A and B are shown apart, each in its own frame.
Chain A
Amino acid sequence: AQTIHQWPVAEIKAVGSPLSLGCTIKGKSSPNLYWYWQATGGTLQQLFYSITVGQVESVVQLNLSASRPKDDQFILSTEKLLLSHSGFYLCAWSLGWGNQDTQYFGPGTRLLVL
């Protein structure tokens, strides 16, 4: 069975500090991967997607970057956090491209920037 794992579960970070959030998918080969962000009380927004290793497309600019170093791994990062980066980050995967298939979401990472 496929599993999706996100780390860390939660983070409290200082403004200006670096950030790295991770996501791994086990049990599926060559999945399409996605990063989403939800501000507290806000609407979920897609940030990035990747259809293959080494290739990442940006959807929303939030001074964040993403990378896909391995087939089953998706990393979200920034060198300098802003207060506006606080929120809930979700990773998702699908087999079909885009919305041609159901997306399955990870448990998420809560980030508080102070």
Chain B
Amino acid sequence: EQQVQQSPASLVLQEAENAELQCSFSIFTNQVQWFYQRPGGRLVSLLYNPSGTKQSGRLTSTTVIKERRSSLHISSSQITDSGTYLCAMGFSSGSWQLIFGSGTQLTVMP
């Protein structure tokens, strides 16, 4: 069974601190996405980063295919960044599927 491991499971920061979230994969993949799940459950796509480094605003993702890992760096965290961050990898074996990690619960305190 293909798996995605995320760490840490939870993270508490003071506002303006930086966050580093990690994701590791059980297989080699060049199909990596990061999502943000709002407290109500809705998923928002943050970054599609198959390899290398991608940036969007305060978010920077680095994917190293040969090491089967990806990271998400959030700079200058804000209270509104609180929520669950999910990474996912694409996997194809007969049928194609997006496999998610269990997430990192981020809480940003004032």
Residues of the B chain whose Cβ atoms lie less than 8 Å from the Cβ of A90:
41, 43
B100 near A88 (CB under 8 angstroms)? no
Contact count A vs B, C-beta below 8 Å: 62
Interfacial chain B residues near A106, Cβ < 8 Å? 42
Partner of A100, one of B31, B86, B95: B31
B45 interfacial contact with A, CB 8 Å: yes
Q: How far is the CA of A104 from the CA of B97 in the complex (A)?
A: 15
Q: What is the CA–CA distance of A106 and B41 in the complex, to the nearest angstrom?
A: 10
Residues of A within 8 A of B35 (CB): 105
Given contacts A46-B98, A46-B99, A58-B95, contact A103 B45 (CB under 8 A): yes
B43 near A43: Cβ-Cβ < 8 Å: no
- Would you give the 0/1 interface string for B3-43, flagging 1 where the beta carbon is closer than 8 Å to chain A? 00000000000000000000000000001010100001111
Contact with B along A42-54 (1 / 0, CB 8 A): 1111100100000
Do B95 and A44 touch across chains, with their CB atoms under 8 A apart?
Answer: no
Q: Is the CB of A107 within 8 A of B42?
A: yes
Chain A residues whose CB sits within 8 angstroms of the CB of B45 once the complex forms: 102-105
Which of B33, B88, B90, B96 gathers most chain A CB within 10 Å?
A: B96
Question: Given A57-B95, A58-B95, A99-B90, does the pair A43, B101 have CB atoms closer than 8 Å?
Answer: yes
B28-72 vs A, CB cutoff 8 Å, 1 = contact: the mask equals 000101010000111111001000000000000000000000000
C-alpha gap A38/B35 in the complex (Å): 14
A38 partner residues in chain B, CB cutoff 8 A? 41
Pairwise interchain contact B96-A88, C-beta atoms closer than 8 A: no
> With A107-B42, A108-B41, A110-B41 given, is the CB distance from A99 to B33 under 8 Å?
yes
Question: Which chain B residues border A44 with CB–CB below 8 Å?
Answer: 43, 86, 88, 100
Q: Closest 4 interchain pairs by CB?
A: A99-B90, A99-B31, A105-B43, A44-B100
Interface of B with A (CB < 8 Å)? 31, 33, 35, 40-45, 48, 86, 88-90, 92, 95-103
